[in-house]
Structure 1
Amino acid sequence: MARHHFNLHLVSDATGETLIAASRAVSAQYQGICSLEHVYPMVRSVAQLDKAIAEIEAAPGMVLFTLVDPQHAQRLTEACTRIGAPCLSVLAPIMTLFESYIGPAVKPRPGAQHMLNADYFRRIDALNFTMMHDDGQQSESYEAADVVLMGVSRTSKTPTSIYLANRGVKTANLPFVPNTPLPKSIEKLRNPLVVGLLASPERIVQIRANRLLSLHADPESPYVDRRLVAEEVAQSRKLFEEHGWPTIDVTRRSIEETAAAIIDLHKLHKLKFISAA
């Protein structure tokens, strides 16, 4: 009988985000099979580690870990060998590569990637800015943004903006509404990169219909009229072309893929901006 799920234990001395991201990237390659995640974050003492080991023994499965303390890593590895649970240090191959090139780290630092450094506060600042400039708010201060996203309703402007903010990119987003003039400040922007988000009318209608369904609204609303939606998209595309703003078709893109493309565009934009200064 085919296995449709399995236990996956993720043991970390930090938040576990690295393990979750890495394991899900691999799990996604297996259709019809899902992992039952058991996450053990902030494991920094023997007592915490032994508790995780006890749970692994109770529900055997694969074990991935990020433990920079070598004694903790050895203790977990030995326990997994005894239990018969395959385990892997996700950081070990990367640490080995780093050590071969730049030498060993002076002192192991659990959760060092989450220290309150300048990059951390930059991301918090970006997130605050992005939330304050969502859906056309405070357009008079868009000049302080790194990126301004535009598009018709349901082109994933807000989730993309939040994702970018978590990468430290101050992002504002502005909905395109047919026959509604843009804020005057948009025409004068110099610092931000303005990006137009596009999607196929069919995809937008599908998302809007689901939105109306969740709100128990009229399913026959013009908001989901295929012809009107197609006109909206065409008008937005024309606007982006008139201003020379780069566009991204988000029809078949995930938020992460869209954000990655925007970050690449922003890097080029900054270089041009610096060259022109």
Structure 2
Amino acid sequence: MRRFHLHLVSDATGETCITIARAAAAQFQGVDAVEHLWSLVRTESQLRRVLAHVEAEPGVVMFTLVDPQLRALLHEECRRIDVPCIPLLDTVIAALSGFLGIESRNQPGRQHVMDAAYLKRIEAMNFALGHDDGRSSATLGEADIVLVGVSRTSKTPTCFYLANRGLKAANVPVVPACPLPPELGGLTDALVVGLTCHPEQLIDVRRSRMRMIGDIGETGYVDPLQVEEEVRQARRLFAESGWPVIDVTRRSIEETAAAILQLHDRRA
């Protein structure tokens, strides 16, 4: 495994840097990027402290600074110590500026303003928290999306990912011999999606969860025959209800959420 230092410099939270850098680094097999996140860098003194660390542990610098003086200083110093310096947003901003015919504001953190969209995301987060694992079923009708599935099919983290996109997402577990909330059958506006998973992966995930909480006993929760029957019954439920189904086997949370968002957009 080849390791290298990756310095991410931002005048805001650094989320954009992290996302782009990880997406790029993931394309290289056998490479381990040691990330150094330098966020809220807005003064020359702050930037010089970052540069001292870059010089001590040279690698690749990626940045999303908008202040022209800080950008010039970063480029100059990186050239001096002979490390690559990559502006992540320049091409996009230049293309937008050319298309729109106006200059960019060059204002740090513009994407994090507390506007209506931000407040909507907060509301969605609170909704996901209050409607996790079948709770608050009386207000299930307020959801934009409801995820249904057996235990450990990533329902909760997927709901919070969707909430970060401003969608009210609830999740309902399918538990053997336990009836689903009656409100689920009466939903008309919400998109209901069934999540399923290959039994073998489900058992691995459940065993891992049990080890985390200190439970190492053998139970029906990880019994192969019972898990297979759980998955089979859940799939039968989804088919009878006419709900779209997403197999989360070997899918990341982001990939599952992307598939759900496509279903939601087509339904809108």
What's the counterpart of residue 252 of structure 1? 250
Indicate whether 1:234 and 2:224 are aligned.
no
Query: What displacement does 1:267 show?
Result: 1.4
Q: Does 1:164 align with 2:162?
A: yes
Secondary structure of 2:187's counterpart equals coil
2:171 match: 173
1:275 is matched with which residue?
Answer: none
Give 5+ residue unaligned stretches, structure 1.
271-277
Cα offset, 1:76, TM superposition: 0.5
Task: Sort the Cα spacing of 1:89 and 1:104 in 2 relative to 1 into closer, same or farther, 3 A.
Answer: farther
* 2:116 paired residue number: 118
Match of 1:99 in 2: 97
Contact 1:11–1:63 (CA under 8 A) maintained in structure 2: yes
> Alignment partner for residue 27 of structure 1, among 19, 25, 28?
25
User: Where does residue 216 of structure 1 map in the other structure?
Assistant: 214
Which of 173, 181, 192 is matched with 1:194 structurally? Answer: 192
Q: Of the candidates 51, 63, 66, which is equivalent to residue 64 of structure 2?
A: 66
Partner of 1:53: 51
Amino acid at match of 1:78: E
Q: CA deviation at 1:108?
A: 1.3
Does the Cα contact within 8 Å between 1:213 and 1:219 map onto a contact in 2? Answer: no
How far apart are residue 216 of structure 1 and its match?
A: 2.2
- Indicate which of 260, 263, 268 corresponds to 2:261: 263
Matches of 1:106 and 1:94, distance apart in 2: 11
Moved more, 212-221 or 190-199: 212-221
Q: Post-superposition shift, 1:210? A: 1.1
Report the Cα offset of residue 101 of structure 1.
0.8
Answer yes or no: is 1:5 the counterpart of 2:3: yes
Distance 1:14 1:103 in 2: 26
Q: 2:87 aligns with which of 71, 86, 89?
A: 89
Aligned Cα root-mean-square deviation (Å): 1.1
Alpha-carbon contact 1:209-1:219 (below 8 Å) kept: no
Structure 1 residue 133 and structure 2 residue 169: aligned?
Answer: no
Q: Kindly state the Cα deviation for residue 103 of structure 1 after the two structures are TM-superposed.
A: 2.2
Q: Paired residues, what number? A: 268
1:135-190 deviation per Cα after TM superposition (whole angstroms, max 9, x unaligned): 00001101100000000001010111111111111100000012221111111111
Is contact 2:93-2:104 (8 Å) kept?
A: no
Partner letter of residue 242 of structure 1? E
Aligned-pair identity in percent equals 50
Query: Deviations for 1:202-239, whole angstroms, at most 9, x for unmatched residues?
Result: 11111111111222224311110111111111111111
- Residue 195 of structure 1 deviates from its aligned partner by 0.3
Query: Contact 2:97–2:104 (CA<8 Å) still a contact in 1?
Result: no
Unpaired stretches in structure 2, ≥5 consecutive residues = none
Match of 1:225 in 2: 223
Distance in structure 2 (CA, Å) of the matches to 1:153 and 1:38 = 36
C-alpha displacement at 1:106, in angstroms?
A: 5.0
Q: 2:216 and 2:57 mapped to 1: Cα distance?
A: 48
Structure 1 residue 31, shift from structure 2 partner: 2.3
**Superposition deviation, residue 53 in structure 1:** 1.3
